[in-house]
Amino acid sequence: MTIKVHPDWWKTLFDEMYLKTDARSVCNEDLSRREAEVIVQLLPIDPGHRIADLCGGQGRHSFELARRGLGECTVVDYSPHLVEVGRGSARISKLPVVFVQGDARETGLPGDGFDHVLIMGNSLGYLPHADDDGRIMAEAYRLLQPGGHLLVDVADGERVLEKMTPNAWHEVDDDLVVCRHREIEDGRVKAREMIFSRRKGLVRDQSYAIRIYRPGELKKLVMDSGFVDAAIHTARSQSCRFFSSRVTRGRRGSRVTDSITSLSWAIPWAICPMMTMTEGSWPRPIGCFSLEDTCLWMWPMETGSWKR
């Protein structure tokens, strides 16, 4: 049976129910701290740097960076609920994290205004047309000042194709159970997600689709947007492989070269639910590893880039 997906599914899915069904990752403070450590090791972030966190949800990565005194963070997300949750957390914590409700393709933020742009948590591929992801990359390029950095975190499409299971379910708590049926069509993972309450019965029946990227495809995506010398780094677990792209925007008419150290990290299991478990198995966080049990590859890389 072909799963029918409304093209604007992403405008309504990320609400209070999402924070319950995906809480093991998106509301996991320990996991967010560990992922922020990896971001800090990947990017040369200094106090006073300006960071744009695109599709950043309730700002879990930005808050962790702000707690370290690293950067002034601006989180952009389309979900009014997640933005309001983030604003409430900012008021309580008094951390320098600003939230903007908007579209990552056209944020309305000033150009050349940021030292770093983050796109974390497998947040590419939600929009119906492949060109839309290119528009997000182009917006990231516009936002970065010369010499700034872009970090993109997505699941490896090759591993998704290899390991995806068509059916899965897990218990959220004593009341809620999530069931998903998945299929791959036209380079996207389509999923029908049904959430059942033991007390109320079916409380949600919604479908979504996520475009998958192989490493070469991700590299082409960022380089087509004006970035040069993008590097792909992969990390393997027993079940999944993830990769990140870290690229630099250089100054017009000159070449910027610096030596950096990069390492790879696995994204949370619930962000990429198509790979989490087989049907009937207890959910476990594939990709949520500590530094002790993950193979982290580290090597120097020469990076140069310029604006076309």
Please give the pLDDT value at position 163. 87
* Residues 150/249, Cβ–Cβ less than 8 Å: yes
Q: What is the pLDDT of residues 98-145, one digit of tens each?
A: 999 999 999 999 999 999 999 998 899 999 998 999 999 999 999 999
Task: Please report whether residue 252 resides in a domain.
Answer: yes
Range(s) of the domain holding residue 112: 9-303
Domain of 220, CATH number, reads: 3.40.50.150
Q: What are 182's strand-pairing partners?
A: 191
More confident residue, 297 or 251: 251
Q: How many angstroms separate the CA atoms of 302 and 155, rounded?
A: 24
Rounded to an integer, the average pLDDT of 234-260 is 41
Task: Please report whether residue 2 resides in a domain.
Answer: no
Q: What percent of the chain has pLDDT over 90?
A: 57
pTM (2 d.p.): 0.77
Task: Please report whether residue 251 resides in a domain.
Answer: yes
pLDDT at position 292 over 70: no
Task: Please report whether residue 4 resides in a domain.
Answer: no
Given phi > 0 = left and psi -120 to 50 = alpha, else beta, which region is 55?
Answer: left
Task: Please report whether residue 3 resides in a domain.
Answer: no
Please give the tally of structural domains in the chain.
1
Task: Please report whether residue 221 resides in a domain.
Answer: yes
Which DSSP string do the residues of the chain spell out, in sequence order? Answer: -PPP--TTGGGTSSSHHHHHHTHHHHT-HHHHHHHHHHHHHHS---TT-EEEEET-TT-HHHHHHHHTT--EEEEEES-HHHHHHHHHHHHHHT-SEEEEESBTTB--PPTT-EEEEEE-SS-SS-SSSHHHHHHHHHHHHHHEEEEEEEEEEEEBHHHHHHH--SEEEEE-SSSEEEEEEEEEETTEEEEEEEEEETTTEEEEEEEEEEE-B-HHHHHHHHHHTT-EEEEEEEEE-SS-EEEEEEEE---TTS-EEEEEEE---PPPTTTSGGGS--TTPPP--TT---TTTS----EEEEEEE---
Q: How confident is the model at residue 297 (pLDDT cuts 50, 70, 90)?
A: very low
Q: Average per-residue pLDDT in the chain?
A: 78
Task: Please report whether residue 105 resides in a domain.
Answer: yes
